[in-house]
Amino acid sequence: MKDVFDKALLAPLEYLGGQVLAVLPNVLAMGIIVGVGLVAAWTLGHAVERLLRVMRLDELCNRLGVNAALARGGVKTDPSRIVGRTAYWMVVAFAVIAGLGALNLQPINRFAQSFLAYIPHALTGGVILVAGYLLSNFISQGVLIAAVNAGLPPARLIANMARWGVQLFALAMALEELGIAQSVVIVGFGITFGGVVFATCLAFGLGAKDLAKDYLERTLSNRPRDRAPDDLRHL
């Protein structure tokens, strides 16, 4: 009876205890790493936020139209806090992965390696998206002003097309960087961009062929305008 008791109950318990004792240092290490990581994340997040406020990032973003875009997307947090929180969560993610790595379990180690290898791509993709967004704002503003000064009534439409064109381009580049449906993105972007260019050419050719003819004739033959709008001399 005692043998049965030893084999059926104590042996598994002993085995379990041994397992727990073997893993316990790793679990403790994980706890310490995650705990320290959380403190570091909180400190870094706040430090980054305060530094960016001192550097007046919010005012700069306001000028660049980033705040307005965030508000349009329902985000009421200011850019300094967003960057601070991003830094916080990045450190937390690192700490959790490092902590899980301390457990020394194969599946988790493989996941951590893949995750770490993916981070540069994710960062590059993020930078491309942000840069594309800022560039699209700048270009669309310039196009809008140029179109208004050229007296083109659909100025806003032209400016919006320029904005979406640049943003589409940036999105395609970011998705390619992230490795998401690469072939679909390339083909889709090629078809869309080519289609837009073709449609624009077609529209210009059909709708403004006289304007194009006049422009080319004036450019190639150095012929002045047939009739200037007025002969006001501004300087």
Partner 1 sequence: MGSDAIEATSSSRQQKSPVALTPETESRVQAIGEAEILVGIPSYNNADTIGHVVQAVSAGLAKYFPGRRAVLVNSDGGSSDGTPEAVSRAVVDFSALLVSDHQSALQKIITPYHGIPGKGSAFRTVFEIARRLKAKACAVVDSDLRSITPEWIELLLRPVLDEKYDYVAPYYLRHKYDGTITNSIVYPLTRALYGHRVRQPIGGDFGFSGRLTEHYLDQHVWESDVARFGIDIWMTTEAIASGARVCQSFLGAKIHNPKDPASDLAAMLMQVLGAVFALMEEHDRVWLNRKESMPMKLFGFQYEVGVEPVNVNVERMIAAFQLGLEDLAPIWEQILGREIVAELLPLRTAPHAEFRIADELWVRVVYEAAMAYHARVLPREHLLKALTPLYLGRTATFVLETQGLTTAEAEGRIEQLCRVYESRKSYLVERWHGGPQA
Give the three-state DSSP class for 108.
helix
231 binds partner 1 (CB under 8 A): yes
Helices (H), 55-65: 57-64
Compute the least distance from the CB of residue 207 to partner 1, in Å.
19
- Interacting span for partner 1 (CB under 8 A) from 25-33, 75-83, 125-133, 145-153: 145-153
**CB closer to partner 1 out of 73 and 224:** 224
CB of 86 to partner 1, least distance (A): 27
Considering the rule CB under 8 A, would residue 160 count as an interface residue with partner 1?
no
Which residue has 């640049």 as its token pair?
166
Please report how many Cα atoms fall inside a 13 Å half-sphere around the Cα of residue 78, on the Cβ side.
Answer: 12
CB within 8 Å of 126: residues ≥ 6 apart: 174
Q: Which of 82, 90, 155, 168 binds partner 1 (CB under 8 A)?
A: 155
* DSSP assignment letter at 231: -
Taking CB under 8 A as the criterion, the residue among 144, 162, 171, 174 binding partner 1 is 144
Q: Which of 23, 134, 148, 168 binds partner 1 (CB under 8 A)?
A: 148
Distance (Å, whole) CA 108 – CA 29: 15
Which stretch, 47-55, 134-142, 179-187, 196-204, contacts partner 1 (CB under 8 A)? 134-142
By CB under 8 A, residue 220 contacts partner 1 = no
Report if residue 127 touches partner 1, rule: CB under 8 A. no
Binding residues with partner 1: total (CB under 8 A) = 24
Q: Compute the least distance from the CB of residue 145 to partner 1, in Å.
A: 5
143: its two tokens = 């196009």
- Between the alpha carbon of residue 91 and those of residues 24, 45, 142, 200, the distances in Å are 24, 9, 39, 47
Stretch that binds partner 1, among 36-44, 71-79, 136-144, 204-212 (CB under 8 A): 136-144
> Long-range contacts of range 34-37, CB-CB < 8 Å, 24 or more positions apart?
34/95, 34/96, 34/99, 36/95, 37/91, 37/92, 37/94, 37/95, 37/96, 37/98, 37/99
Other Cβ atoms within 10 Å of 159 Cβ, number: 20
With CB under 8 A as the contact rule, the residue among 151, 220, 221, 226 that binds partner 1 is 151
**52-81 binders of partner 1 (CB under 8 A):** 63
138 binds partner 1 (CB under 8 A): yes
Q: Given the rule CB under 8 A, which residues bind partner 1?
A: 63, 138, 141-142, 144-149, 151, 153, 155-156, 224-225, 228-235
